[in-house]
Amino acid sequence: MKVFIRVTALAAAMLLLAIVGLVATVLVDDDAEATELSDGGGGLQGVPQEFRTWILKADAACDEPALTPALLAAQLYQESKFKTSRAEATSHAGAQGPAQFMPGTWATWGRDDDGNGVSSPWDIGDAVMAQGRMMCSLLKQARSSGYPGDVRALALAGYNAGWGRVEQYGGVPPQSFAGGETYNYVRTILSLMPRFEGPGRLQVSGSGTGPEALRKAATRIGTPYAYGGGGPSGPSTGFCDGTNGYLNGRCAASSTVGFDCSSLVQYAYWPKVKLPRTAEAQYGATSDRPVSRSQLKPGDLLFWAHGGSGYIYHVAMYAGDGNVLHAPRTGKHVEIAPLTSAMPQGDYLGATRP
């Protein structure tokens, strides 16, 4: 049986950096309304909601302890970046769907797990459950094989190149095999796993527009920050404007699929509340409904500006329990962070309720 750890409070120190642009976080009093934070999803984060349920189900169906939700999520990200369209999720070799099954392999592992009457590698449920079954089997083979190395690495190599190649080399095929494809596939997925590991999804008590928006935003924990990226339909690549979107001297936003602060907020409330795109416009659209720090509730928006009532550069969602849900800056991911280490107190402008 897999055991998951409950998280009642999240603490993560964040480097303070005021960036002119579309950024997000929050700073409020500790006596504001508390909201329960818990793992709520097997230590899985940063996964689109339509994949989340199936990843957890596939993990639960396997009694192999080396299989975890984060391993399946990292593998899916490497295979398809959670894409599901035929144009985006068909490889040059003919692999299909978000888990990239070749037709012959699908014939072995594919089933109609979502109950829609069709067994298809393009259906998220069918694909993820088949991925889980195959990885579960490969992990068992790896454990009993006696080959040296991490059983997860061996199983991933078997998934990518076939178990016969693992047997041929007595382990993960070397870099000289297939131009390093399998070797790099294994290394990339194992390095990606921490990105999808807990703390998991934010659990929000109560109903209504604010809590519902916060729950939706929480499904995107772990999604990269992309300046100018994202919108009502989800994350997308962003852009650089000469000042924002750069990392280590290069334009990271144009090649990163993600959200910035205000697009995450817009996504969370859409379509029930159709907020405008930028932090400044969102403040303008909601400023007639101000909220004091002591009365903050889950989903309330908080704003920061340079020079008091000057340029608004930051918006975030109050997450309760002294925490904030936000897309912080280029190079970071959507996360939950302590309120007190979020942004300069002198820049705090106020809070509103959409």
One-letter amino acid identity for 41?
A: G
Q: Which residues on neighbouring strands pair with residue 302, listed in sequence order?
A: 316, 351
As given in the structure block, the two tokens for residue 302 are 């908080």
How far is 340 from 322, CA to CA, in rounded Å? 8
- Pairing state between β 348-352 and 290-291: antiparallel
Query: In DSSP terms, which residues pair with 208 in a beta bridge?
Result: none
Active-site residue, from 79, 197, 212, 335: 79
Specify whether 79 is catalytic.
Answer: yes
Q: Are 152 and 190 in contact (CB under 8 A)?
A: yes
Phi first, then psi, for residue 279 (nearest 5°) are -60, -45
Burial classification of residue 13, based on how many CB atoms lie within 10 Å of its CB (0-12 exposed, 13-18 middle, 19 or more buried): exposed
Q: Which residues are catalytic?
A: 79
